[in-house]
């Protein structure tokens, strides 16, 4: 019996795909810190004055996503969602916390993470870079960790190795957050006898004697290169690895190394962005050097938008980023807002994926994805069957990697700023605030107090909680027709405001936003306007 040729071709394609999928890829996830979508050349175009050859090469050889979002415009909640596939506001905050890099663990022990998932599938897992998900440090007085009582001669009680990572080399918090000391597999590196602070905020605190801000990117790059080298031979023989590479830049302090200072056309900020890209590039070169490109999935992104206080001055300064715009560089690209805001400039991120043999080179996808979708996607790729309680807010974008024109599985995404929530549903976005969602400390506009006072004057009386979910206390944008968020349609489309509020209520009440059994949030209630009331009263 003969086989019709198209059927034979299809069978061969499916067989090849099955073999490729069976050979589980190495996975490298690289995330910059405070890198705006417009800081990347392949996104910013002629509104970008920085060169980003590593990012651009990934877009050239893989897929560029144009509608990718973080779920939060600040660091910690965005990282919680990426690591767990669960919205950060579902977690209870730790009962005891510490300042800056002394943050206590944000995730309960035993929490599902992408590290534990992949380790369970036989991956060698590594975390290198900024952690900022909290640690538990041993202290000299038995009290909670802080500025004066950490015993740096003793290892961490809780760190990345307790969340599924075989190897870790981290900075506990951001580069402008003490303590300024690396930890390898939970052991602090160097003698922490110094007091140092950096240019942006001059937060002076405990530091290793040899720790310097401008050396951090090079240190992380070397660690990543060595991780790839250590695992290369086993990877070629069927033992895959997963590397989560979380940079500390271009988050302040804006401190490029001497090799990069003065290199860009933009100035100090441009130098730091270009060093950030080059640091990612060193990981790509390591993959190439060890013959791992063809069977490695690489994803590069940022945790959220660019900081409004960053620019060509080392000191953090309100509105400093606008001086870059005067030079023709727009860190938020065409979008409104920056880090801390509910606007697209704070939440829409660069997101490129390279996976030879699966992702078509030079392709692009305009479907909605969230950084919280990493868990479900890696589950699909590795053939991991998730427990129904795991990654309840994560949607696989694997079908889009195979066909960018496929119907996107994600229709709804809940996002947040420090002061407000926003819900995206299809083309519509509802921001549950009349302001930027930021405290307005660094030049983000509209300033909350002014926006709320104007909304109250417009409303004409004291609003109830139900009133706060309707105009003039919310904003509605059509992102298909107005991606720059210039025209608030809330007062014209009461039907859509009501519908998106209902969508949000359902996501909250079910404890999940994906199909499956209803779950409970770790907190009894989610207060959508938890920071709004001071402006109302």
Residues 436 and 365 in one domain: no
Across the range 161-178, mean pLDDT stands at: 97
Residues 426 and 287 in one domain: no
In the structure, what pLDDT confidence band is assigned to residue 525 with cuts at 50, 70 and 90? Answer: low
Last-in-domain residue among 407, 428, 447 = 407
Last-in-domain residue among 363, 378, 407 = 407
pLDDT digits (tens, 9 = 90+) for 240-298: 999 999 999 999 999 999 999 999 999 999 999 999 999 999 999 999 999 999 999 99
Name residue, tokens 């052991």. Answer: 187
In the structure, what pLDDT confidence band is assigned to residue 408 with cuts at 50, 70 and 90? Answer: confident
- Number of C-beta neighbours around residue 205 at 10 A: 20
Burial degree of 441 (CB within 10 A; 0-12, 13-18, 19+): exposed
Size of the chain in residues: 537
Residues 516 and 388 in one domain: no
| Residue 199 or 172, more confident | 172
Q: What is the CATH number of the domain that holds 491?
A: 3.30.1120
- Distance from C-alpha of 286 to C-alpha of 60, rounded to nearest angstrom: 19
In the structure, what pLDDT confidence band is assigned to residue 527 with cuts at 50, 70 and 90? Answer: low
Residues 312 and 387 in one domain: yes
- Distance from C-alpha of 123 to C-alpha of 231, rounded to nearest angstrom: 10
- The partner residues of 124 in beta bridges, in order of sequence, read 241
Residues 499 and 521 in one domain: yes
The answer to whether residue 4 is domain-embedded is no
The answer to whether residue 459 is domain-embedded is yes
Residues 332 and 434 in one domain: no
Encode burial over 114-129: b for 16+ CB neighbours within 10 A, e otherwise: bbbbbbebebbbbbbb
Give the CA diameter of the chain: 81
In the structure, what pLDDT confidence band is assigned to residue 145 with cuts at 50, 70 and 90? Answer: very high
Residues 305 and 422 in one domain: no
By C-alpha distance, which of 152, 169, 106 is closest to 132? 106
Number of domains in the chain: 2
φ, ψ of residue 534 to 5 degrees: the values are -55, -35
- The partner residues of 31 in beta bridges, in order of sequence, read 246, 301
| Residue 7 or 311, more confident | 311
- Looking at the chain, the whole-number percentage of residues with pLDDT higher than 70 is 93
Last-in-domain residue among 363, 386, 407 = 407
- Distance from C-alpha of 264 to C-alpha of 149, rounded to nearest angstrom: 42
Residues 237 and 386 in one domain: yes
pLDDT digits (tens, 9 = 90+) for 330-381: 999 999 999 999 999 999 999 999 999 999 999 999 999 999 999 999 999 9
**Range of the structural domain that residue 42 is part of:** 23-407
Residues 485 and 354 in one domain: no
Q: What is the CATH number of the domain that holds 35?
A: 3.40.720.10
Residues 373 and 431 in one domain: no
Q: What is the DSSP string of 281-333?
A: HHHHHHHHHTT-STTEEEEEEESS---TT-SSSSS--TTTHHHHHHTT--TTT
Q: Is the pTM of this model over 0.85?
A: yes
């Amino acid at each position: 019996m003969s086989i019709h040729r198209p059927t034979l071709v299809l069978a061969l394609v499916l067989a090849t795909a099955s073999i490729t999928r069976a050979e589980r890829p190495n996975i490298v996830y690289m995330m910059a810190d405070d890198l705006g979508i417009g800081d990347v050349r392949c996104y910013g175009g002629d509104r970008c004055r920085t060169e980003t050859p590593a990012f651009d090469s990934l877009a050239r050889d893989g897929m560029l996503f144009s509608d990718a979002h973080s779920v939060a415009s600040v660091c910690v909640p965005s990282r919680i969602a990426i690591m767990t596939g669960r919205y950060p506001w579902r977690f209870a905050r730790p009962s005891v916390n510490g300042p800056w890099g002394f943050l206590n663990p944000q995730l309960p022990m035993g929490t599902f993470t992408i590290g534990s998932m992949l380790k369970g599938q036989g991956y060698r897992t590594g975390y290198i870079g900024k952690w900022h998900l909290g640690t538990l440090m041993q202290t000299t007085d038995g009290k909670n960790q802080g500025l004066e009582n950490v015993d740096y001669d003793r290892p961490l009680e809780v760190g990345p190795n307790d969340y599924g990572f075989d190897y870790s080399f981290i900075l506990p918090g951001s580069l402008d957050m003490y303590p300024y000391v690396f930890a390898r597999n939970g052991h602090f590196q160097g003698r922490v006898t110094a007091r140092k602070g950096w240019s942006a905020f001059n937060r002076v605190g405990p530091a290793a004697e040899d720790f310097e801000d401008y050396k951090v990117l090079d240190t992380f790059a070397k660690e990543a290169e060595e991780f790839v080298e250590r695992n290369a031979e086993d990877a070629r023989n069927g033992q895959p690895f997963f590397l989560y590479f979380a940079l500390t830049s271009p988050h302040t302090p804006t401190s490029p190394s001497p090799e990069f200072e003065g290199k860009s056309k933009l100035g100090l900020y441009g130098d730091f962005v270009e060093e950030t890209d080059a640091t990612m590039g060193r990981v790509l070169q390591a993959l190439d050097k060890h013959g791992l490109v063809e069977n490695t999935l690489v994803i590069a992104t940022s945790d959220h938008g660019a900081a409004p206080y960053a620019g060509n001055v080392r000191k953090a300064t309100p509105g400093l980023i606008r001086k870059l715009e005067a030079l023709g560089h727009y860190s938020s690209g065409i979008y409104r807002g920056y880090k801390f805001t509910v606007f697209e400039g704070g939440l829409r991120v660069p997101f490129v994926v390279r996976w030879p043999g699966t992702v078509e080179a030079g392709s692009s996808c305009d479907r909605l994805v969230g950084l919280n979708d990493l868990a479900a996607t890696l589950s699909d790729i590795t053939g991991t069957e998730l427990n129904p309680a795991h990654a309840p807010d994560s949607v696989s974008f694997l079908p889009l990697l195979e066909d960018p024109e496929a119907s996107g599985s994600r229709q709804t995404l809940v996002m947040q700023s420090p002061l407000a929530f926003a819900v995206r549903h299809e083309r519509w976005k509802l921001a549950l605030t009349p302001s930027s969602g930021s405290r307005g400390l660094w030049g983000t506009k509209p300033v909350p107090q002014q926006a709320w006072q104007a909304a109250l004057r417009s409303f004409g009386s004291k609003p109830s909680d139900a009133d706060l979910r309707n105009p003039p206390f919310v904003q509605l944008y059509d992102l298909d027709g107005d991606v720059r968020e210039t025209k608030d349609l809330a007062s014209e489309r009461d039907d859509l405001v009501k519908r998106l509020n209902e969508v949000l209520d359902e996501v909250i009440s079910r404890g999940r936003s994906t199909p499956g059994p209803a779950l409970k949030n770790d907190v009894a209630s989610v207060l959508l306007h938890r920071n709004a009331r001071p402006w109302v009263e």
